[in-house]
Amino acid sequence: MRFLLFLLKSITILFCLGFAEMILAQTKTNIVWIVCEDISPFIGAYGDPIVRTPNIDKLASEGIRFTHVYTTAGVCAPSRSSIITGMNQINIGTMHMRTHNRPDLMPEGVPSHSAVLPVGVKAFPEFLRKVGYYTTNNAKEDYQFEEPVTVWDESSVAASYTNREGNQPFFSVFNLAISHESQIISPPDSLYYDVEKMNLPLYYENTKMMRHDMAAMYTRIEQMDDDVGEVIAKLKADGVYENSYVFFFSDHGGNLPWMKREILERGIRIPFIVKLPNGKSAGTTNNDLISSIDFAPTVLSIAGIKPPEYLEGKAFLGEYSTPEKNKYVFAARDRMANKYDRVRSVSDGTFRYVYNFHPEVSKYQDLAYRKQMGSMQEILDLRDSGKINNPYLEDWFNTPKEVEELYYTTKDPDEINNLAKNKYYQSKKDELKKALFDWLSRMDDKAQVCESDMVMNDWWKGKNKPPTTKSPKLKKLKEGIQITNQEPGASIGYRIFDGQVKDTVITKKMKSWDFAYVMGNGNNTEVKVSKPWKVYLGGTIPLKKGQILQINTQRIGYNPSEDLIKF
């Protein structure tokens, strides 16, 4: 009888800790993201007549090519914050570029900070880990906040799904940086494309330097395509390509001056391709309006997880995909480095409406980083010498700028003809303006609040540093430890040490993806051991006598708390 009771108790513990989820996970589908940086749909599969992208084009022939996908921002960190949370950046306070670990880029009086997300808002890979997925990120994060240890099994340049256990399902992100703006600032030594044959958008002066940087952009895209090919070859060699969902997309639009950071077509429309398992829907096209806040619920849906109700996006694939389509997609532009602006836009796929809250500042922002680019230097030289002959380029520098902009994007993809004052399009402008301001009301746009007040008063409660997450309550039982969360919305990770070192003291905190932990005895001896974090799912953590349980508890934006208990 005692044995039966012990067996039942053991089964209960294993179930609570996720054993059942691990069994169920064996039937789940692998999901791969190949994420490049800073490109609009300058891809052969999207009809670009110049670029050579055979690997991406082949992926499109094997999957679904989505034609109307938009990010929520035209720059990386705010955009990536919305992708990883499924929430628009203006609703969670991550709209300013940038906030975290770069005090040199912060305006005076605004501290470098990790955004404090609303209670319960998570980085969505944590939900995947809870049902048994192995999650890896290689390697860029840049979410505007320090993510908890519960988000990734690995996040580093060496992160790989191959480190998972057996046939454990995985969600793996591969970030390709070769097409980033920095790679135009430092252009390739030799260009793959003829500078004289470059066709420029209508908002540029047709100069050799501008054509050079356009050729550099195409060269970097072709190099990025080679990297895509390498990732796909690896997936095939490992036997996981056919039965996996493989996404390809950019974190936002183009990397040249007056492309990146803008919330126009050129700054937020991206290539987006999804290959489904076993050739399903190969070679098809989808014209639905999709926002990057739809990515998180879609991945959860594919994994068989019902998306949390707080998510703002809609799943467009998987078990919980919805027949309801987006009528509009929205975007926001706010502070860049130490230059403030507040711009909002909405698109219905045919027209775009833009509202400028600060007409007193020009569309152009004087950003030191971008000024390193050859074409940007040339544009400024032309401006300063009064030699800009292009009225559309000149508009970038005009003050005051128009409060309202309206573009017929399917006929005017460069968005150079502002129709906001054209009476013929008045009803469309009114429709989109109403949609935009209704959305802003729902979002409770955080940019309405002074940034320093948002951080130090709303988030840090009047202090000059973030709060520390409350430690959980720990209950010691005969068979292990139970944990009760005391901080609403916090994530709890844990790991167990066997205590091989006498008088063990854990001396250095590391995240799971470091795959190392420094332990020491009283003589300062250090021993490195492999101890990734696990996600606490409730119930009792089984422990043996002498083992050490380390617990990391964190609400996103707060400092984590750490607890150690020797069993």
Q: What does the pLDDT average to over 306-331?
A: 97
Quick one: what percent of the chain has pLDDT higher than 70? 90
Range in 120-129, 328-337, 468-477, 517-526 the model is least confident about: 517-526
Rg over CA atoms, the chain = 25
Range in 20-34, 92-106, 205-219 the model is least confident about: 20-34
Nearest one of 47, 80, 30, 36 to 272, comparing CA atoms: 36
Query: What 3-state class would DSSP assign to 434?
Result: helix
More confident: 248 or 10: 248
Q: What does the pLDDT average to over 128-147?
A: 96
pLDDT at 500: 53
- Determine the Cα angle at 509 with ends 507 and 515, to 5°: 110
Is residue 512 pLDDT above 60, yes or no?
no
pLDDT at 105: 83
Q: Is 340 inside any structural domain?
A: no
pLDDT at 86: 98
Name residue 33's beta-bridge partners: 173, 247
Is residue 511 pLDDT above 60, yes or no?
no
pLDDT at 526: 53
In this structure, are residues 45 and 62 in contact, taking their beta carbons and an 8 Å threshold? no
Q: Is 191 inside any structural domain?
A: yes
Is residue 522 pLDDT above 70, yes or no?
no
More confident: 345 or 502: 345
Nearest one of 192, 252, 203, 198 to 225, comparing CA atoms: 192
Is residue 509 pLDDT above 90, yes or no?
no
Q: Is 397 inside any structural domain?
A: no
Q: What does the pLDDT average to over 102-114?
A: 90
Tokens (6 digits) for 264: 């126009």
In this structure, are residues 100 and 145 in contact, taking their beta carbons and an 8 Å threshold? yes
pLDDT at 102: 80
Give the CA-trace dihedral at 76, 171, 249, 556, to 10 degrees. -20
Average pLDDT of the chain, as a whole number: 91
Is residue 228 pLDDT above 80, yes or no?
yes
How do residues 368-419 score in pLDDT, each as one tens digit?
A: 999 999 999 999 999 999 999 999 999 999 999 999 999 999 999 999 999 9
Single out the catalytic residue among 16, 36, 76, 450. Answer: 76
pLDDT at 8: 42
Q: Is 9 inside any structural domain?
A: no
Q: Is 71 inside any structural domain?
A: yes
pLDDT at 139: 87
Q: Is 271 inside any structural domain?
A: yes
Residue 545: give the domain boundaries: 473-566
Quick one: what percent of the chain has pLDDT higher than 90? 86
Last residue of a domain, one of 252, 286, 321: 321
Q: What does the pLDDT average to over 112-130?
A: 97
Tokens (6 digits) for 317: 């694939």
Q: Write the secondary structure of 226-246 as one string of H (helix), E (strand) and C (coil).
A: HHHHHHHHHHHHCCCCCCEEE
Last residue of a domain, one of 288, 303, 321: 321
pLDDT at 4: 38
Cis-peptide into 188, omega within 30 deg = no
Q: Is 387 inside any structural domain?
A: no
In this structure, are residues 552 and 560 in contact, taking their beta carbons and an 8 Å threshold? yes
Round to whole Å and give the CA distance between 344 and 530: 47
pLDDT level of residue 517 (50, 70, 90 thresholds) = very low
Is residue 506 pLDDT above 70, yes or no?
no
Round to whole Å and give the CA distance between 187 and 181: 10
In this structure, are residues 165 and 148 in contact, taking their beta carbons and an 8 Å threshold? no
In this structure, are residues 564 and 472 in contact, taking their beta carbons and an 8 Å threshold? no
Round to whole Å and give the CA distance between 90 and 67: 25
Last residue of a domain, one of 321, 348, 370: 321
Does the pTM of the predicted model rise above 0.85? Answer: yes
Is residue 489 pLDDT above 60, yes or no?
yes
Residue 50's domain is classified under what CATH number?
3.40.720.10
- State how beta strands 473-476 and 480-484 pair: antiparallel
Q: Is 312 inside any structural domain?
A: yes
Domain count, the chain: 2
Active-site annotation holds for 36: no
Round to whole Å and give the CA distance between 409 and 415: 6
